Structure 1
Amino acid sequence: MAALTGWDGILDDGEEILWQGAPDDGLDFGSFWSVQTVSAVFFAGFSLFWMAMAFHITSGMKDGFGQVLNIVFPLFGLPFFGAGVYMLLGRFWAEARLRRNSHYTLTNRAAYIGLDAKGKRSLERYAIGPDMRLTLEDGDLGAVWFASKVNTMPRRAPSMGRSRARIGGATFSTQTIGFERIANARAVYAMMRKLQIERAEIEGDKDA
C-alpha cells in the first residue's frame, strides 16, 4: 500500500483501495510554449540588457570607487535574471521534483493525492460523487483531472497555474488537480466513471 503507507486509520470503514500509482517524474516541457515563457524571455533578456548597460556606464570610472561600482552595480540585475531563468526552465525541474514526491491512491469512495517532501507530509482527499467533473487526458503518459482550486498571489508574482486572472491587486491562479502523467490513465478514468455511476444510483435510491 505504497501511497498510503504510514497513514494508518485514514480510510473509512468499508473503504477499499482499487488502484495506486505515482506520476512519472521525468521533465515535461509540454507547456513550454506559453505566455509565461514569453514573459520569462522578456524578463531574462531585459535583465541581461540592464547588467550590460550598467557595466558599460560604470566602466569609464577609473577611481577606486568607480572600479568597485563597476563590479557591484551590474550584479543588482542577477536576482531578476535568475527569476527569469527559473520561469523559463527551472519551473520544469521544480514540477518534476514535486511529482517525484507524490503518490496517488484510488479507493471505492475517494481519490487521494499524497505528498512527502522536505520532511513534511500532506494528504488530500477528493470524494467521488456524481458532481465530480472528470476529464481524461489520453496518451502514453495521460492524466485524469477531477478537481481545481484557486490560488491567490500578490501582484506581479509568477503564476504556475494553468490559467490566471487579475482582480484588483491580486492575481488568481486556477490550478487543475488530478492524477497526472500516469501510464494507465484510461483505465483509472474508467474506474472513476464506474464509481460515479454507482454513487449516482445509490443517491437516486435514497431520494426515491
Structure 2
Amino acid sequence: MRLEAITWERLTDVTADRIAGLTAADGGPWLRVAVDGAPAAPTAELARDLSEALRIRGRPVLVVGSAGFWRPASLRYEYGKRDPDAYYDRWLDTGALWREVFDPLDPGAGGTGRVLPDLWDPVTDRATRSPYAELPRGGVLLLHGALLLGHWFPFDLSVHLRLSPAALARRTEEDDRWTLPAFARYEDEVVPGEAADVVVRMDDPRHPAWHRPEP
C-alpha cells in the first residue's frame, strides 16, 4: 500500500469534499460514514472535525460514538473484565446500532431519520435516556469508535485510523493493554487496512500518512 504524507487539516478537507459529493449506495437521502480506530486513535476528534467541515459545506451532520452502544456491564463482563475475545465479540451491541441508528436511515425499512445518538453509558452503567435526534434528508451520520468494520454495517464511506502493532502497544494505556489481542484479531479477520475506503497511518500522529483509493 502506497502512503502519502498529509496534514490533519487537509485530510479533513479532502475527506469532507468526498463525503459531500457522495450518493448513498442504497439511493436513500442519508449518508453513513465510519471513523474507525482503536481507542488510542483520535476517532472522536476526526469525526468532530469532519462534522464541522461538512456543516460549512451545507450538510446536516449527526455524530454518534459507538461506546454509547456498548452492552451493560453484566453482559460485557460475563467472561471477566479483561477478556479480549469478549471485547471483540460482545461489547458492542450491534443489534441496537442496527435498530436505533442504521434502520432509521434505511429508506427500504421506512427510515424516518429519527436516530438515537446513544443508548447506554458505560461509565455509570445506566441507560442514557437521550432524546432522539432528527437527521434531515441530505444529512450525514458519522459513527466513530473501535472495531466498526466487519459487521456489514451499510457505510457509504469508511475511514480507518491505523496504528502498527508496536505503535498501538506503545500508545495504549497500561490498564487497557489487555485489549491488544482483540485488535490483533481484528487485523487478521477483518483486515481494516484493506476493508476501509480511506486508511490513515498514524504511528506518529504529528505526521500522518494516508492511502486514498480513487472513488
For normalisation by structure 1, the TM-score amounts to 0.23
More strand by share: 1
For normalisation by structure 2, the TM-score amounts to 0.23
Structure with bigger RCO (C-alpha 8 Å, 6+ apart): 2
Structure with higher Rg: it is: 1
